[in-house]
Amino acid sequence: MAEQVNQRIESMIGELEQMRRTNLYQDEEIKEISRKRKEFEYRIQRRMKAKDDFVQYIAFELALLEDIVLRRKQLKMTEKKRDIEFAIAGRVNKVFKQFLFRFQDDIAIYFEYLKFCRSVGFDFAVSSIIGQMLQIHGDKPKAWQLASYWEKKEANNLENAASFLLKGIHRHPEADFLYLDLFEIELTNAFKAENDEDKEKSIKKADIVWRNGLKNITDIRFLFKICDIALKYAVDNSVTDAIKREVWSKRSEKEVWTYIAEKELEGYHWEEVEEFVTEEFQFPEQINFYIAAYEEALKQIPDKKLLTKYIHGLLAVNNSLCSDLQQITAVKHAWYFGLENGLLDNDMYEFGFNMLKLDDLSNEELSKILQEGLRNSPQCRFLWEENLSLHKNDENKMLSIIGEAGKSLKSDDLIYLWNYLLDNLESQIVFKNCYKRFQNCESSILLSLKPKFLMKIYEHNGLKAAREVYEDFVRTPPTQVDVHDVMIQIELSQEKPALKNIRKCFECAIQHHGQTNINVWMDYIKFETQNGNLQSAPAIHRRAIAVLNKDVVSDFLKAQALAKLK
């Protein structure tokens, strides 16, 4: 390897000598260039080759080329280019070839090589590089697209670009992007055609491309992309109209209605939509068509997500299309349409009510809207919450509402509403009725509210009532750890805490949860250490080890050790 590297370094001597003679570089700079090249050559010749070695070597030489160009401008020098720049370009070309030979699977290298060849004028090598790439990577449809892209953007040769895409489609008839690129190229050719005959040929080719694409690709989004391209170029109405008819024929899919409605806002019109337009709207024509398309879609395909897209589209309407007042009116119309047809989801209900509140509607009007919403969407938590909020001053009515809500809501939503109710009750009488209803409830879901009820009983009726309720809860399991924690905190908050009662709470917590919950024991030990009898702590510690399940004893010991360190 050393001999091969030395031969390569020797071949660079003439080039370095010319750098010195032309005063482009000083002796020290030339030594550094020689040293770096020798280092890179050793790295790319070693047995275990790495991509970074080639990348860094090529980057070094390209940077050197750029620096030489700058120095020539400063010195106003043009001689010896063949001996210096051409020599460097030739070396980089050889390194690229080695790079490709070693890492043929990396398609990105081919395109870096193509860029290099184009930049130094090695145009003769481009076709062979692309051919080599396709020979190795022809099984990847992206390779054909990249080859076409190169011919289109870099070589400005649409004919070659189309040829690569056709070959790619032949091998990969399922690759939608090949059809899309070819369709766009043919429309571009039609747009640029200098005579009617050439234009007609390109239009016929474009027509064949999109129709063949539809035979092989069933994804509706492919048809939308084809339509976008046709509308963008608008070269020939026959092609565009045929594609629009194809889109309309797929309207059993809800995505088609969304696409057509959005295109109506952009000014691309489907005449079929006109029959669904009503005369009541005083909106610009494009918005009328948008509304008509969506509302017909929702009649045929009732779908909450589709309704949400309908409203979001109106919210995003460009200011140049209509006034703010017209936009707000259109959004309200869409929201009421969703309300009447039971198509609003929880977020849309919330959005609509916040919007309606800005209009200062009376409670009676809001109540009518809520009732209509609840008839269509009784499972919507937001509506029940708004209903409770609307009757905040009538606590008995709130109890009645939450009773009705319990018939329709999921467990988490029902618990949320009960928490909301408990936080907003002020009357002790109503609260007492609420608690009686809770006592008669057999739902394990609502029993999770025990800690909340205990705290509210204390806030409304005082310590004695809280102790009685706690005793009742303890006698009627299941009882959450939080119930004991709440009662302990209530007892500790008193001016003169009753230690006997607090210990009783801890003992109840141990009775119910002492086998699995290490925090119960930790809190008990902490209480005795800080507030009770310090000498009781070791005995509680021993009890804990005896009572806890074996699989959690080690966790308890670790927690105790950490607590002592703190």
Cβ(5)–Cβ(41) under 8 Å?
yes
444 φ/ψ angles, rounded to the nearest 5 degrees: -65, -25
SS3 state of residue 350: helix
pLDDT at position 300 over 90: yes
Specify the pLDDT at position 400.
86
Among 118-127, 189-198, 253-262, name the one with the lowest average pLDDT.
118-127
Confidence of residue 288 (pLDDT cuts 50, 70, 90): very high
SS3 state of residue 390: helix
What is d(CA 288, CA 261) in angstroms, rounded to the nearest whole number?
A: 10
The closest of 380, 411, 417 to 398, measured between CA atoms, is 417
Contacts of 215 (CB under 8 A, 6+ apart): none
Among 130-144, 436-450, 491-505, name the one with the lowest average pLDDT.
436-450
Peptide bond into 284 cis (omega under 30): no
Confidence of residue 262 (pLDDT cuts 50, 70, 90): very high
pLDDT at position 241 over 60: yes
406 φ/ψ angles, rounded to the nearest 5 degrees: -60, -20
DSSP 8-class letter at 364: H
Confidence of residue 51 (pLDDT cuts 50, 70, 90): confident
Range list of H helices, 217-253: 220-233, 237-249
Going 507 to 509 to 513 to 516, the CA torsion angle's sign is negative
Average of per-residue pLDDT across 457-463 = 86
Concatenated DSSP letters for 65-78?
HHHHHHHHHHHT--
Contacts of 50 (CB under 8 A, 6+ apart): 43
Average of per-residue pLDDT across 326-354 = 92
Specify the pLDDT at position 311.
96
Residue 350 CA to its chain's centroid (Å): 23
Contacts of 387 (CB under 8 A, 6+ apart): 367, 370, 374, 401
Quick one: what percent of the chain has pLDDT higher than 90?
42
pLDDT at position 182 over 90: yes
Query: What angle separates helix 51-75 from helix 27-45, to the nearest 10 degrees?
Result: 160
Confidence of residue 202 (pLDDT cuts 50, 70, 90): very high
Average pLDDT, the chain: 88
Average of per-residue pLDDT across 309-337 = 93
* Tokens at 471, concatenated: 């005793």
pLDDT at position 1 over 60: no
Cβ(272)–Cβ(248) under 8 Å?
yes
Cβ(272)–Cβ(310) under 8 Å?
no
Confidence of residue 5 (pLDDT cuts 50, 70, 90): low
Specify the pLDDT at position 3.
65
What is d(CA 252, CA 297) in angstroms, rounded to the nearest whole number?
A: 9
Task: Tell me which range, 2-6, 103-107, 384-388, is most confidently predicted by mean pLDDT.
Answer: 384-388
Average of per-residue pLDDT across 107-116 = 82
What is d(CA 30, CA 17) in angstroms, rounded to the nearest whole number?
A: 9
269 φ/ψ angles, rounded to the nearest 5 degrees: -110, 140
Confidence of residue 411 (pLDDT cuts 50, 70, 90): confident
What is d(CA 308, CA 328) in angstroms, rounded to the nearest whole number?
A: 15
Going 151 to 152 to 157 to 159, the CA torsion angle's sign is positive
Specify the pLDDT at position 292.
95
Contacts of 10 (CB under 8 A, 6+ apart): none
Burial of residue 445 (CB within 10 Å: 0-12, 13-18, 19+) is middle
How far lies 562's CA from each of 169, 240, 559, in Å?
68, 74, 5
Specify the pLDDT at position 19.
86
Specify the pLDDT at position 566.
61
> Token pair 């959004």 is at which residue?
331
Amino acid at 274: E
Cβ(147)–Cβ(133) under 8 Å?
yes
Specify the pLDDT at position 440.
60
Contacts of 270 (CB under 8 A, 6+ apart): 244, 247, 248, 260, 263, 264, 289, 293
Specify the pLDDT at position 252.
94
H/E element, 489 = helix 481-492
Specify the pLDDT at position 82.
76
What is d(CA 366, CA 371) in angstroms, rounded to the nearest whole number?
A: 9
What burial letters (b/e) apply to 115-135, b meaning 16+ CB within 10 Å? ebbeebebeebbeebbeebbe
Predicted confidence (pLDDT) per residue in 467-479, tens digit: 988 998 888 777 8
Cβ(118)–Cβ(131) under 8 Å?
no
Predicted confidence (pLDDT) per residue in 478-521, tens digit: 788 999 999 999 999 999 999 999 999 999 999 999 999 999 99
Count of all residues that appear for the chain in the document = 566
Confidence of residue 164 (pLDDT cuts 50, 70, 90): very high
pLDDT at position 443 over 80: no
Specify the pLDDT at position 112.
84
The radius of gyration computed from the CA coordinates of the chain, to the nearest angstrom, equals 39
Among 263-277, 338-352, 523-537, name the one with the lowest average pLDDT.
523-537
* Tokens at 412, concatenated: 């988490």
* Tokens at 201, concatenated: 């040929």
Predicted confidence (pLDDT) per residue in 88-105, tens digit: 888 888 888 888 888 887
Among 10-14, 321-325, 509-513, name the one with the lowest average pLDDT.
10-14
Average of per-residue pLDDT across 216-220 = 94
What is d(CA 138, CA 90) in angstroms, rounded to the nearest whole number?
A: 28
What burial letters (b/e) apply to 277-303, b meaning 16+ CB within 10 Å? beeebebbebbbbbbbbbbbbbeeeee
Contacts of 345 (CB under 8 A, 6+ apart): 304, 305, 307, 308, 380
SS3 state of residue 35: helix
Average of per-residue pLDDT across 104-128 = 79
What is d(CA 397, CA 402) in angstroms, rounded to the nearest whole number?
A: 9
